[in-house]
Amino acid sequence: MSGPALHLAVELDGDGSHPAAWRRAAHSPDQLLTPRRVAGLATVAENAGFTLITLDDGVLPPGAAPDPVGRIGAMERAAFVAASTSTIGIAPVVPVTYAEPFHVSSQLASLDHISAGRAGWVVTEEESPEAARVWGRPPVADADARVRESRDGIEVVRSLWDSWEDDAVIRSVATSRYLDRDRLHYIDFTGETYAVKGPAIVPRPPQGQLVVLGRPDQVPAGQLDVALIAGRDPAAIATAAASAGTPRVFAEVEVALDTPDATGAERVADLARYASWTDRGRLRHVGSADGLVAALDGLSRHVDGVRLHPLVLDEDLPLLSRLVLPALSERRLVARPLPGTSLRSTLGLARPANRFAAAAVLEETR
C-alpha cells in the first residue's frame, strides 16, 4: 500500500464498458472517433481529479456490427490527450504478443516526453489467432507462449529505455557534438524467439522508466509497477492483492450508477436487450454513487488504487466527477495529481536508476 490516498484510474475506450453503450451515448455515432470526443473525456477526467486514464486497444476490431467496429490506436489517442492535458496520467494499452518491442519502446518513450513524465503502459495479450494474420506472423497459441512474449517484450522495452543514460544528450556547440556516444548502450537481448541489439532511437524517458501496469497472470510480477487484479467481491480482491507481489495494486471495478432518469439496474437491463455485459470476473457496482463511495472506501484497505470501467461514459463519468470523487476527497481517500509531478511521483514510485550507468559505477568501485 502506498499510503492513505486511493488512486483512481478510469478506462475511456469507446462509449463505455458495455458493448452496446453507444446506444445510450450523448453524441451521434459519427462523433465517436473525433479528436473533440477524446479530448473532452480526458478533460472531464482530469478536472475531476482522476490519477490516470487508460485507453484500451488491440489489433482486431473492438466489436461486431451493429455495434462500433473501429477505434483509433491507443498510442495515437494517448499522444493527442497528452498535448491537451497537464496533470493526469495517460496509459495506452499496447500488447506485445506480436508487436515489435523496439517500436513499442520508441512510441512509449516519445509519449513520456510529450506528456512531461505522465505516461504509463498497460501490457495485455493478443489472444485471438486472427491477430497473428494481421501482423503476418505465426500464431502464439497457448497461454504460456503469450506470457513468454509479454515477458520478453517488457524486458526489451525496459532495457531500451535505459540504453540512453540521462546525460547522453550533451548538445555541445564547442565540439559540434549532440550526443556522448559513450553514454549509449547496446542491450544485446536474446530471447527464445528473437534478438534485439539496440540502442534506442529516443532519449531516455523523463520518468526513466514508464509506469508498467498489467495482470499478474499475464506478466511476471517482477516486471510490473502496478498489478491490475480482478475479483467478483471484496474478499477475492483482498486475496489477490495480498499475493500480487508488485509495488502497487489496482482493483478492476465496473460501475453502472443510478442517474436522475434511471437506476443503474434499469440502464443495464435496457442495454441487455441488445447485448450482454461481458463478465470479466471483475467486481461490479450497480447502484448509487453513495454505495460506490462506500465500496471504494472498503477497497482502500486492500489496494492502492482502482481502475473504473463505466457502463456508459456519457452517463457515468459526469456522476463520478460530481458525486463520487468529491465525496472521496471529503473523506481524504483520494488526492488530486499535482501540476508538474510525474506519474511515478504521484503513485509514490521512485525514479529508477539507469541500469547501465549503475553498472559502470559499480565496476569503477571494484
Q: Please check whether residue 215 is in contact with residue 154, taking contact to mean a CB–CB distance below 8 angstroms.
A: no
Neighbours of 236 (CB within 10 A): 16
Cell 463505466, located at residue = 310
CA pair distance 89, 85, nearest whole angstrom:
9
Q: Please check whether residue 248 is in contact with residue 2, taking contact to mean a CB–CB distance below 8 angstroms.
A: yes
CA pair distance 181, 157, nearest whole angstrom:
20
Cell digits for 138? Answer: 505465426
Query: What is the pLDDT, as a whole number, of residue 2?
Result: 47
Cell digits for 189? Answer: 537481448
Question: Of all helices (H) and strands (E), which one includes residue 248?
Answer: strand 248-257
Q: Is 209 helix (H, G, I), strand (E, B) or coil?
A: coil
pLDDT tens, 159-216? 999 999 999 999 888 888 889 999 999 999 999 999 999 999 999 999 999 999 999 9
Query: What is the pLDDT, as a whole number, of residue 1?
Result: 47
Cell digits for 47? Answer: 478536472
Report the helix count and the strand count for the chain, using DSSP H and E: 12, 13
| CA angle at 226 for the pair 220 and 230, rounded to the nearest 5° | 85
pLDDT tens, 245-278? 999 999 999 999 999 999 999 999 999 999 999 9
CA pair distance 84, 111, nearest whole angstrom:
13
Neighbours of 88 (CB within 10 A): 26
The predicted model scores a pTM of 0.95
Pairing of strands 211-214, 120-123: parallel
Q: Among candidates 96, 160, 169, which has minimal Cα distance to 355?
A: 160
CA pair distance 166, 157, nearest whole angstrom:
16
Q: Please check whether residue 125 is in contact with residue 139, taking contact to mean a CB–CB distance below 8 angstroms.
A: no
Query: What is the pLDDT, as a whole number, of residue 317?
Result: 98
Q: What are phi and psi for residue 6, nearest 5 degrees?
A: -100, 120
Rg (CA), the chain: 21
Rounded to an integer, what is the distance from CA 138 to the centroid of its chain? Answer: 27
Per-residue pLDDT of the chain (366 residues; tens, 9 = 90+): 445 589 999 999 999 999 999 999 999 988 999 999 999 999 999 999 999 999 999 999 888 888 888 899 999 999 999 999 999 999 999 999 999 999 999 999 999 999 999 999 999 999 998 999 999 999 998 999 999 999 999 999 999 999 999 999 998 888 888 899 999 999 999 999 999 999 999 999 999 999 999 999 999 999 999 999 999 999 999 999 999 999 999 999 999 999 999 999 999 999 999 999 999 999 999 999 999 999 999 999 999 999 999 999 999 999 999 999 999 999 999 989 999 999 999 999 999 999 999 776 666 666
- CA torsion through residues 61, 65, 68, 72, sign: positive
Query: What is the pLDDT, as a whole number, of residue 221?
Result: 94
- CA torsion through residues 50, 54, 123, 303, sign: positive
Long-range CB contacts (< 8 A, 24+ apart) of 84-87? 84/39, 84/42, 84/43, 85/42, 85/43, 85/46, 85/115, 85/118, 86/46, 86/339, 87/46, 87/118, 87/336, 87/337, 87/338, 87/339, 87/341
